[in-house]
Structure 1
Amino acid sequence: MTRLTFQQATVAAIRDEMRADPGVFVMGEDIGRFGGPLRSTAGLYEEFGEARVIDMPMSEGTIAGLAVGAAMQGKRPVVDLMFGEFLALVMQQFLDAGAMHYYSGGTQRVPMVVRAKFGVGPFHGHAYDHHSWLVGVPGVKVMIPSNAADAYAMLRAAIRDPNPVLFMEHMALYHAGKAEVREEAPATPIPGSRVARQGADVTLVGSALMLKRALRAADALEKQGISAEVIDLRSIYPLDLDPILKSVAKTGRVLLLSEAIGRGASINDLAAQLAERAFDDLKAPVMRLTAPDVPTPFARELEAAYLPDETRICAAAMQLFGNSS
């Protein structure tokens, strides 16, 4: 076991996969001697050199397109896309990568990972959460870890996965303290939903920063006599629904949390599935708490008002009891 930050855990995962498999290499902007944005590739250039840590020109489409071609030739590229809003520049490449197995009659795989940083945090800017765009692309997996241990295990599993993976890294978690990480070969497939806290009265579901805030809200709700179970989604697609269904069957109430704006958010699909598959277990309607339908603000005061926090999560959870039958 080693104590690592979230950022150190992601770098360690890539380093260990590069050591284990000479077909793994990294591409992106400023990832070589500079060490990547927010130190996202720190030390990799010094160990593996420019042949496997490749500084690319400022053309995200070119980088992602090259990754698709390399993956089809048996390599396992890891693309550092820098920030989540740049996903708009690589959508066509993701469409091709996701569909290639189908197009080829099952003969072709595209094992590539695209890393993208997102979320409000200490760095200002680049906060947009656009992972929902990729949830609608067949063949693409979407991962959002909430802690260093998961970041390490899930990124190693993503690199080994035969499918294209979008790996989202929240900037508020990047350097926010160290945690115990077991540096060992990952279990496959990529881990799904997990129960982060046991409870009996209401289920809170989120990922990344929303998971952290849900846990703090659960502590506050406990003082008011409400026992909240908290579930970390981790894998947005494919969605591991069983732990959520089991939790809702126990609590009868569910609050879904998202840093993305509510319109088009990936949790909307989860809400629909719960309405279809857990209707008889529900004591109140499925509730969502998301960012409003406005651009992510830059000012700290507006940022604080923009995202669901512990107070708003607690208030929404209490509302579920008011709606109960």
Structure 2
Amino acid sequence: MSHVRLTIFFKYLTLYIELKMLKDSTSKPKKRLPRLKISTIEEDIQFQDMNSQNVKYVHGTNSASLSGLAHFRALLTMEQIDGTGWFHKDGLKSGERGNTIQSLGKNEPISNGVSLNYIQNYQQSIHTYSKYGETEKYYPVLYCFDSDLDLEINEKIQEHPVTKGGISIDKIKAIYVPNEFVEDAKKALFHTGQLSHVVKGFPDDKVIAVYRTARSHQMKQDISTENSGYQTDPLKKKLDETTRQKHVMVFSGFSELDYKDVDALETKITSILEDAIKIHSLDKLIVVAGATGDGIGRVYQIAKTLNIRTIGIVSEEAKKYYSNFPYCDEVFFCKRPKRNMESVR
């Protein structure tokens, strides 16, 4: 009898505790968290389109890469690009500029191969790697590959497999570009034969929404600059138009006084300019100095041997002493403020 009473007691005690806990949990209403909007893999149109073609890896860049791909019939490694004169003429307009270039000459996988993303990370390839180089003239390109690649996996950066060497065109299974540039890309790859047939438009335009927003912003900025009242200063307008979207390198120093160690000066200038070509690409560079070839002006002759565009900015007074400026592509003559003229006198 006592055993039965004890069992009933514990049963009611348990019920009481459960009711108490239920009351406590409902007495203080909790804030409902907003629902997360998550796109599943099944809803990702771009992913599904690539997956249907058995794509496993992708490489993001921009359309400047198409000409090199057509010419060399491969996506080259940075070591191959650095040692090929064809790229030095106009400079590198696409591709990653950080670790890849820093690893040149060190026999590291990143510069001896092509860096990839797994298919599920394709958006990083489009939104990050297609932005390296020139983004004003070129559009995003996504190269796709199946599992038939010789890869090297770095344990520290497993999310980025790297190929051993370049990638020949027969390994490319699909090339995605914005829909309005499909014909342009096909034309660029026409002489490669099979490659022009694998060019496709992105099936989901939202994938490149960031690119379209940036392009629209750039167009508005250009229009705004054109209408900003440059008529009052035509020299400023011309100078701004010449240097717009360029990497301008201004060199200042001694001119007629010259330098004690001219060889060291020229070696240093050459090194600076060659590094700039690798980082910014040749057609993005402009060298600016004081127009004359003395002293620091030696930069002009060195720049011209490297095919870098050169500009001279000098006072109108220089016309009295110099009839020409042989190493300047263009010279801008500025009026010296009256106060400065008086101080010079």
Pairwise TM-score range, normalised by the shorter structure: under 0.3
Instruction: Flag the structure with higher strand content.
Output: 1
TM-score, with structure 1 as normaliser: 0.25
Between structure 1 and structure 2, the one with the greater Rg is 2
Instruction: Flag the structure with higher helix content.
Output: 2
